Amino acid sequence: MTVSPISLAFKKCKKEKRPALLTYTVAGDNTKKKSLEILNSISKYVDICELGFPHNTPIGDGGQIQTASYRAIKNGIKMKDIFQIVNKFKNRKNSKPLILMGYYNMICRYGENKFLNKCKQVGVNGLIVVDLPWPDNKKFAKKCKKKSVTFVQLLSPTTSKKRIKKIINDSHDMIYYISMLSTTGGKLKISPKKILENYNSIKKINKSKNIVIGFGITIKTINSLKKADGLVVGSAICNEISKSINNRQNPVTNVTNIVSLLKKRIS
Amino acid sequence: MKIKKNIPLIDQHDKNGFWGKFGGNFIPETLKKPVEDLTILFEKLRKDKKFIQERDYYFKNWLGSPTRFIKLENLTDHLDGAQIWTKVVSDLNGGAHKSLNATVHCLLAKRAGKKYIVGDTGAGYAGKMLSMAAKKFGLKCKIFMGAKDIKRQKPNCDAMRANNAEIVPVYTGSQTLVDAVSECMRYWVSNCDTTAMCVGSTVGPNIFVKICGWSTSQISKELLIQIKDEFGEIPKKLKLINCVGGGSSSFGFWNEFMHYNKKQVEFIGVEAGGPKNSKKHAAPLTYGSKIGVLHGAMQYVNQDAEGQIEETESISAGLDYPGVSPLHCFLKDTKRARYTAATDEEALNAYQLVTKFESLNPSLEPSHAFAEAIKIAPKLSKDTVLCINSCGDALKDRDILKKRLGK
Ligand SMILES: Cc1ncc(COP(=O)(O)O)c(C=O)c1O
């Protein structure tokens, strides 16, 4: 089997002795065109791009990502636009692996198989489905694998040891560890040291899995979590887009600036 | 898909929590553990005699169960068809059936050692009752409520504040119940280690559907006895009519009659059809909405072609919800229950007719059920018994009624 682009991205970072930088932006935020421009522009600093397909009843997202999602939906973003954005992004020479992230109802409505075929066609490398936890996701995760799409399993501080082992067993080449009890965008309410402790105990179970940490990571905190395989920054970026709009500045420039800063902090 | 005999419907789900195609647990990973903990606790306590005694004690001595089952003589005479009976569930402490579920959730939270409880509300009854029960059992309480509902259901908000609950206004989306439930679930994701969550109806992840249905089934337990007392047996033609928002009152009103033949005991669920000339409604079962995921469960839900949940519209805040309990989806598909809708105008007319003839003051939610009863009663035989669940008191609707009817 060929090594997936996601695995390759982690390998490259390991060689460079740094964690992978993953960003999360919402497709269509604040417009279809701008969100593609943002992806293209941050791509040179980012190792893996997460792109959200926005849903209007997101039960796992905090204020910033909700705002970004509503903005995108209000601007009329549709599934077909989202696949188009991915397609255009992936067709560029120096694009990065891309993970789509969202809620199950959107996939369900589109049709699981049709959705995955489309993912494969436009070059989606991975999927995160916030409200499809293990073991309910087993069948779908298998379908993903058949299409060479990494299904990213999630782990949280509330996940029991026994459950963690089983989830890792069924996982593909990337796992997402949620840093704390929070929706996206919360302030880090436990110390980075404690997060890394939890992280390491999970990592020990299977060293070959690439495990990233997300939720609550900002410019201020990213440096302290550098020991992880990868770090995801979402709300801080969505917030930057909100700020840019309020200040009538170009979100592409501003987002690119903070992503380059994030990269500096972990290099 | 078939309903099994001799097993409560709430237990007829598979190991993944599905009743047929409906239900399940579409939740973020963080909630898996607290949901599992709650499941273990509930399944243990529902078999625990002491817990049942405690529940029954509070239902009886604090909430005032059993509630009355009475004949509406004047309305029956006026409609000149089927007999019209009602169960006055709004007699319960607090003024609606929501107190049953709220009480059970607080008892569970106490057993789980939680100090805080949070809940959602639309009409404000679920919130009012939760704040009332939380106060009774010494829990700190936060209620999530859409900003639009806070404006239109002021009397219940005043009651929540009087019970020392904090009302958290929700400004996202349509600023109604659907948004309140989402925000409440998000809050629980962040605070599930210290805080218990009460979902205000038979919706949400599997265990919340079960706990709520188990709690409101008290209504039909009482009714079964009362009907047998009154008629000596179950009438040959009995129709149980109930409004359906999330579906907690209707499920509770029907549960003990589940295994009667539907030709003998018919279940009629009445959803909110919205304003007469509006495309928006809150009637996913009546108007054939597609299956999708809302608030952790697979169900019929108003949504667009992309899977975005659609905005609803109803004069009744308690029914103004785009989805519906997986239990009702199951009852629809197995054809055990029949679902229909009443418009805002029909509900208002029903309210006027009922209050003109009877000393009963049903809120806008049960007024939807009365609308259906008023529609069908004249065409039915005199030995047909229609029983309507008068599950809420109209005190909370004071402002809306004044505006719409000048009352
Ligand atoms: C009086 C009353 N009836 C009915 C409902 C609808 O909910 P359900 O269908 O769960 O009974 C509500 C909800 O707030 C209510 O307050």
The residue to which tokens 């054939």 are assigned: B288
Of all residues in chain A, the one with the smallest CA distance to B322 is A57
Q: How far apart are CA B202 and CA B193, in angstroms?
A: 23
What is the pLDDT confidence band of residue A33, given thresholds at 50, 70 and 90? Answer: very high
Give the neighbor-by-neighbor strand order of the sheet with B195-198: B166-170, B140-146, B116-121, B195-198
Residue among B88, B248, B249 whose CB has most ligand 1 atoms within 8 A, to mutate? B249
Give the distance (Å) from ligand 1 centre to CA of residue B249: 6
Beta strand B22-23 with B18-19: parallel, antiparallel or unpaired?
Answer: antiparallel
What is the pLDDT confidence band of residue B231, given thresholds at 50, 70 and 90? Answer: very high
Q: What is the pLDDT of residues B321-367, one digit of tens each?
A: 999 999 999 999 999 999 999 999 999 999 999 999 999 999 999 99
DSSP letters for B139-155: -EEEEEEEHHHHHHTHH
Contacts of A134 in chain B (CB under 8 A): 29
Q: How far apart are CA B376 and CA B276, in angstroms?
A: 19
Beta strands in A20-173 (DSSP E): 20-26, 48-52, 98-102, 126-129, 150-151, 153-155
Q: What is the pLDDT of residues B281-331, one digit of tens each?
A: 999 999 999 999 999 999 999 999 999 999 999 999 999 999 999 999 999
pLDDT of residue B339: 98
pLDDT of residue A186: 83
Is the CB–ligand 1 distance for residue B126 below 6 Å?
A: yes
Question: C-alpha dihedral over B238, B244, B249, B250, to 10 degrees?
Answer: 30
Contacts of B309 in chain A (CB under 8 A): 56-57, 105
Is the CB–ligand 1 distance for residue B219 below 6 Å?
A: no
**Contact between B303 and A109 using a beta-carbon 8 Å cutoff:** yes
Q: What would the mean pLDDT of A101-124 be, rounded to a whole number? A: 98
Give the distance (Å) from ligand 1 centre to CA of residue B342: 15
Give the neighbor-by-neighbor strand order of the sheet with B337-343: B69-71, B83-87, B385-389, B238-243, B265-274, B337-343
Q: What is the pTM of this model?
A: 0.97
**Contact between A106 and B307 using a beta-carbon 8 Å cutoff:** yes
pLDDT of residue A1: 56
pLDDT of residue B1: 81
A124 near A98, Cβ under 8 Å?
A: yes
A81 near A35, Cβ under 8 Å?
A: no
Beta strand B385-389 with B291-294: parallel, antiparallel or unpaired?
Answer: unpaired
Distance, in angstroms, between A260 CA and closest chain B CA? 30
Tokens of B390: 């008068």
pLDDT of residue B173: 84
Distance, in angstroms, between A156 CA and closest chain B CA? 5
Residue B165: φ, ψ to 5°:
-85, 150
CATH number of the CATH domain containing A193: 3.20.20.70
B309 near A57, Cβ under 8 Å?
A: yes
What is the pLDDT confidence band of residue A2, given thresholds at 50, 70 and 90? Answer: confident
Tokens of A260: 């380059």
Q: What is the pLDDT of residues A184-201, one digit of tens each?
A: 998 899 999 999 999 999
DSSP 8-state secondary structure symbol assigned to residue A210: E
Residue among B92, B98, B240 whose CB has most ligand 1 atoms within 8 A, to mutate? B98
What region does B232 belong to: left with phi over 0, alpha with psi -120 to 50, or beta? left
pLDDT of residue B407: 67
What domain range is A125 assigned to? 5-266
> Considering chain B, what percentage of its residues have pLDDT values greater than 70?
100
Contacts of A156 in chain B (CB under 8 A): 28-30, 32-33
Domains and CATH numbers, chain B: 28-59+97-213 (3.40.50.1100), 65-95+218-405 (3.40.50.1100)
Alpha-carbon torsion B15, B20, B21, B23, what sign? negative
Q: What is the pLDDT of residues B34-62, one digit of tens each?
A: 999 999 999 999 999 999 999 999 999 99
Of all residues in chain A, the one with the smallest CA distance to B194 is A181
pLDDT of residue A89: 98
Query: Which of the residues of A are catalytic?
Result: 50, 61
The residue to which tokens 């809420």 are assigned: B392
Residue nearest to atom 12 of ligand 1 (CA): B318
Q: How far apart are CA B329 and CA B35, in angstroms?
A: 22
pLDDT of residue A94: 86
Question: What is the number of structural domains in chain A?
Answer: 1
